[in-house]
Structure 1
Amino acid sequence: MTKRKIKVLDTTLRDGEQTPGVALAPDEKLKIARELDDLGVDIIEAGSAITSAGEREGIKKIVDENLNAEIISFARITKSDIEPALDCGVDAVHLVFPSSDLHIEKKIGKTREDVKDIVAEISRYALDNGLTVELSAEDATRADRGFLKEVFQIGLEEGVQRICICDTVSMMMPEQIYDLFSEFAEIIDVPIAAHCHDDFGVGVANTISALRAGGSEIHATINGLGERAGNSALEEIALAISEFYDDDFETDLKLEKLYEVSKVVEEYTGIPISPTKAVIGANAFAHEAGIHTHGVLSEAKTYEPVAPEKVGQKRRLIFGKHTGKHAIENEIERIGLDASDSQIDKIFKRIKDLGDRGKLVTDAEWTAIIDDVMGRSLEEVVTLEELTVTGGDTVTPTAAVKIKYEDREFIEAGVGVGPVDAAINAIRKVVSGISNISLQEYHVDAISGGTDAMVDVVVKLTDGKRIIDARGSSEDIIKASVQAMLNGVNRLLWDKKLSEGEK
């Protein structure tokens, strides 16, 4: 049986940027577009050209890059949206018309007949100016199907090349989407796209149902970004197609790049990925429970539906109160150490004790326990010599640090929204001058009660190859934060030094 080719329209740079709090500069859009193109996306919705001068600058930069993907601009059914898209030099427009009576009457104050006339006029105008047109019905899942067919037919008679059905506020379940797309696939000869949102948590399921019913194009965003609860997540759809529908559909996506692209989008949008996010979350291939780690180490498929490398991820063994001895033995062996049964027992007890006190056993603590029990000493590659923090109601919070790295001293200053932020930013500047280590996450893990409250700060750091957690504890949240950063940095640098020494 011949596989059906599925085109992928990525709308991270348009619908994804409409995520509250997200605003991408032109150069950031260009960098993400390059990643999307390398991922194998067929169509990149670079933005909506009518939005602003900066938006047009970003779209033009992407167009000028001569990527393999088709570059498309979102446009409403008005010439004022088409003209700036033409000025940007895009290949196509995602021409969106309101299709439900709710949108037609309440949003634009028109009638169904008005919409049909305008769709005919603007479709013709875009096509006459050399644009590919994807005619898209907004709020289609609450629209009258007879009216939808009439409008799509008008567009097809004008010559539009693709049709899109939008579940704008997620008003259908998968079986209903299947029924809708089945009906339209029987009467429409051009490709039909599915644009599904995730308000009810079924965006990916709805998109897959649309494909099974005859759709041949998907709209999605990296990390599931988008308005409200977001859009269908590209990484989840891609893996689902690969694992469950490989005999039916094919795409040009390079699955091994999914995690990398996800992290780039996370960096530029500032929207953190939930650790439990499917496919690309930090915990997607992490294991703590003893029975799970033992199983996955014996046979990966016991608790991993796919190999993490397939999507560019790596397996992580997390050590905590649920950890079993088998995982400890395996990890110690993996890093090239030979521990006695007595040492294994001591390490096991130390980890259990931390877990029973409600503590996350960070990567830095895990290795520190091994070093202590096995008599290895961690050399402090980076040491803090001075820390000064100033701030107040009328003074911008500022921090200055002096840090010694090997035989050199680094002095940096940072500002922030508060003294902790300023101190972290100062440390970041020093670390970026030493290595490519970056801070991914920061949170206060626990605060004890009383006037002498102890603060636990946990940070997640990465050097591009590894991701580790590290903790700092102090009665002073600033000191705890700096300690956490330096503990993590020292762990990464020391492990790197040991690794290079072994080579």
Structure 2
Amino acid sequence: MALFVNRPRILDTTLRDGEQTPGVSLKPEDKLSIATLLSDIGVDVIEVGSAAASDGERESLRLISDTGLKAEICTFVRGVKLDIDYAADYGADSVHLVIPVSDLHIEKKLRKDREYVTKMAWDSVEYAKDRGLIVELSGEDASRADPEYLLNLYAGGVERGADRLCFCDTVGVLTPERAAELLPQYCIAPLSIHCHNDLGMGLATTLAGLKAGATCAHVTVNGLGERAGNTPLEDLVMSLEVLYGLDTGINTEEIYHLSTLVSRLTRVPLPTNKSIVGEMAFTHESGIHAHGILRDSATYEPISPELVGRKRRILLGKHSGSASVEAALSEMGYIIEPRQLQEIVARVKKLGDDGKRVTDSDLHAIAEAVLDISCTPVIRMKQYTTVSGNSVMPTASVTLFVNGDEITQASTGAGPVDAVIMALRKAVQDVGDITLEEYHVDAIYGGTDALVDVTVTLRKDGELITSRGARTDIVMASVEAMISGMNRLLRKRDEDRG
């Protein structure tokens, strides 16, 4: 069955249902920022809170209504004249008139009967029309209501002037199959589908509702909302556009901007693996996947990240292959040889095996270290040991090959790093007097097992060079930085002699 309309309308309720996320409270100026972007990207209707809830909510409604946005400005109202008056007085174009329709809500929440609720609904429709408002008559908990009772309430509402109807799956229990069965009978006026995501069915049921005849979908940015939230705007829009080939009228390239704005203002972080807008949605680590992506992004991406205002990321770790590491290095401007690449990949995988995520800073440090030591060395490390403790003088011994000759030296120091550096300098003193001018260490990311980036500045015969080492062991990183730096100074000596 084809979708009922070629261009479903989008009603965004981030500023009402989304703000009902526990702990979220938006200031009027925050709501205006979100509403402005929602309107700019092409959302048809914006539900701006509940005007009866507070002075701040009424101020938000007035502020947004007076801005002259392209989108229709709506507000939530109960079947109460005061709510409707607030909506009209503070500039709303329309009202989302929500009426409890399941016997559970009627009897337990309202402690009334069906006849009372029916009259309340119909009288409220008439009053809202008299106040000049567009009315969307909404059945709360419609998915658990008696279908015949709901149809009668809807029909009476339409007779009294309701412009639109809404079927609310208030606790997320409606299945796509049940939506396909129920909704067609309620299409006596333009029908909206409003789904919650308690059982993870929000998007699927919303799509089924549109396919069954609904012409409008209620959504929230990032799927915000009470409990497990509502149908996410970004998921619905991209599903309709990509999977069903429909024009939603939404500027999809602004979706990520909208998502991050809402996340920042609500202080609700995006789940890492959230579809479309999560950090990992367009991030690849697996060597097979990354290799495929680099050849043709369609191999492992259903849409291009640019379509929603994002960029692809190749994340390096133990699953990374040579292709993804080489691509990342190329983006950083490194020109590397195969044997250098092999060493860099090995170090990346080692960090991944240690449970770490390799950042751009890590890769920079690893690449610099490998490029320094990969040239033909004057000095090669065979082994080193360090000993330290609260009752032991820090001591280090090193065994090096210097121009092919094996040399062993030992030294004490203020600590294990100082001791090993002193031992290294003593081991090479016959081929060059090298002094340590400066020593600097950074932990690239937090934790006791952080990758350590050591930078040393060495001097020989007035010549200064800076060298780096990057390892999870500070002593090993220091040894690496020292040896690569000494090699550069000693190679330069040989080149100058030549």
Which residue of the other structure, out of 166, 177, 188, is the alignment partner of 1:175? 177
Length, aligned pairs only: 383
- Cα distance in structure 1, aligned partners of 2:360 and 2:46: 38
- For 2:63 and 2:369, how far apart are their aligned partners in 1? 54
Q: Given that residues 204 and 236 in structure 1 are in contact (C-alpha distance below 8 angstroms), is that contact kept between their aligned partners in structure 2? A: yes
Aligned to 2:358, the other structure's residue is in SS state: coil
- Where 1:96 maps in the other structure, the secondary structure is strand
Which has more radius of gyration?
A: 2
Question: Structure 1 unaligned runs (5+)?
Answer: 377-444, 448-453, 458-470, 475-503
1:254 aligns with 2:245: no
Q: Percentage identity across aligned positions? A: 45
CA distance in 1, matches of 2:32, 2:284: 36
Secondary structure of the residue aligned to 2:177 is helix
1:21 aligned partner: 23
Paired residues of 1:198 and 1:230 also in contact (CA < 8 A):
yes
Q: Does residue 11 of structure 2 align to residue 9 of structure 1?
A: yes
Equivalent residue number for residue 221 of structure 1: 220
| Matching residue of 1:355 | 352
Residue 455 (structure 1) shift: 7.1
> Contact 1:19 / 1:228 at 8 angstroms: preserved in 2?
yes
The amino acid of 1:200's aligned partner reads L
Q: Once the 2 structures are TM-superposed, how far is the Cα of residue 446 of structure 1 from its aligned partner?
A: 8.1
Return the match for 1:69 from 55, 68, 71.
Answer: 71
Q: Which amino acid aligns with 1:346?
A: E
TM-score, normalization by structure 2: 0.74
The superposition leaves residues 8-38 of structure 1 with CA deviations (integer Å, 9 ceiling, x where unpaired) of: 0000000000000100001000001111111
- TM alignment of 1:159-198, pairs within 5 A: 159-185=161-187, 188=188, 190-198=189-197
Tell me the CA shift for residue 5 of structure 1. 2.2
Amino acid at match of 1:41: V
Name the amino acid aligned to 1:78.
V
Deviations 1:427-452 (A, max 9, x none): xxxxxxxxxxxxxxxxxx986xxxxx
Distance 2:80 2:5 in 1: 38
Aligned to 2:340: 343
8 Å CA contact 2:5, 2:215 repeated in 1: no
Residues 405-439 of structure 1 show CA distances to partners (whole Å, capped at 9, x for unaligned) of xxxxxxxxxxxxxxxxxxxxxxxxxxxxxxxxxxx
In 1, Cα distance between equivalents of 2:254 and 2:164: 28
Contact 2:154 2:186 (8 Å CA) reproduced: no
Q: Residue 465 of structure 2 aligns with which residue? A: none
Q: 1:32 aligns with which of 22, 34, 37?
A: 34
Contact 1:42/1:70 (8 A) holds in 2: yes
Listed one character per residue, the Cα deviations across residues 351-378 of structure 1 (whole Å, up to 9, x for unaligned) are 01111111121222122222332349xx
Note if contact 1:4-1:216 (Cα within 8 Å) is conserved in structure 2: no
| AA matched with 1:228 | R
Counterpart in 2 of 1:236?
A: 235
SS at match of 2:86: helix
Residue of structure 2 aligned with 1:95, choices 97, 107, 122:
97
Q: 1: distance between equivalents of 2:241 and 2:331?
A: 31
Partner-residue secondary structure (3-state), 1:273: coil
CA contact (8 A) 2:196 2:231 kept: yes
Contact in 2 for aligned 1:13/1:45 (Cα 8 Å): yes
Q: Residues 50-77 of structure 1, C-alpha deviation per residue, up to 9 Å, x if partnerless?
A: 0101111111111111000000000011
> Is 2:324 the partner of 1:327?
yes
Inter-partner Cα distance in structure 2 for 1:373 and 1:113: 80
1:414 corresponds to = none
Tell me the residue number matched to 1:136: 138
For 1:316 and 1:46, the matched residues in 2 are separated by: 36
Change (3 A) 1:255 1:339: same
The equivalent residue for 1:305 is 302
Instruction: Give distance in 1, aligned partners of 2:450 and 2:323.
Output: 29
**Stretches of 4+ moved more than 6 A in 1?**
none
For the residue of structure 2 that corresponds to 1:373, the secondary structure is: helix
Query: CA contact under 8 A between 1:43 and 1:70: conserved in structure 2?
Result: yes
SS in 1 for 2:186: helix
Q: For 1:319-351, what per-residue CA distance to the aligned partner results, in whole angstroms no more than 9, with x for missing partners?
A: 000000011112222333211112101211110
Cα deviation, residue 3, structure 1 = 5.5
Give the whole-Å Cα distance in 2 for the aligned partners of 1:274 and 1:363.
22
Q: In structure 1, give the amino acid aligned to 2:197.
A: D
Q: Residue 274 of structure 1 contacts residue 281 of structure 1 at CA under 8 Å; is this kept in 2?
A: yes
Correspondence for 1:500? none
| Alpha-carbon separation, structure 2, partners of 1:446 and 1:356 | 17
Mark the runs of 5 or more structure 2 residues left unpaired by the alignment: 374-444, 452-469, 474-498
Q: Distance between the aligned counterparts of 1:371 and 1:121, measured in 2? A: 75
Compared CA separation, residues 456 and 54, structure 1 to 2 (3 A)? farther
Q: Is the CA contact (8 Å cut-off) linking 1:99 and 1:139 kept in structure 2?
A: yes
Aligned-pair CA distance for 1:250: 3.0
Counterpart Cα distance in 2 of 1:270 and 1:363: 27
Q: Is the 8 A contact 2:12 2:43 kept in 1?
A: yes
Question: Equivalents in 1 of 2:372, 2:212: separation in Å?
Answer: 63
* Residue 114 of structure 1: aligned partner: 116
Residue equivalent to 2:205: 206
Conserved in 2, the CA contact under 8 Å of 1:166 and 1:196?
Answer: yes
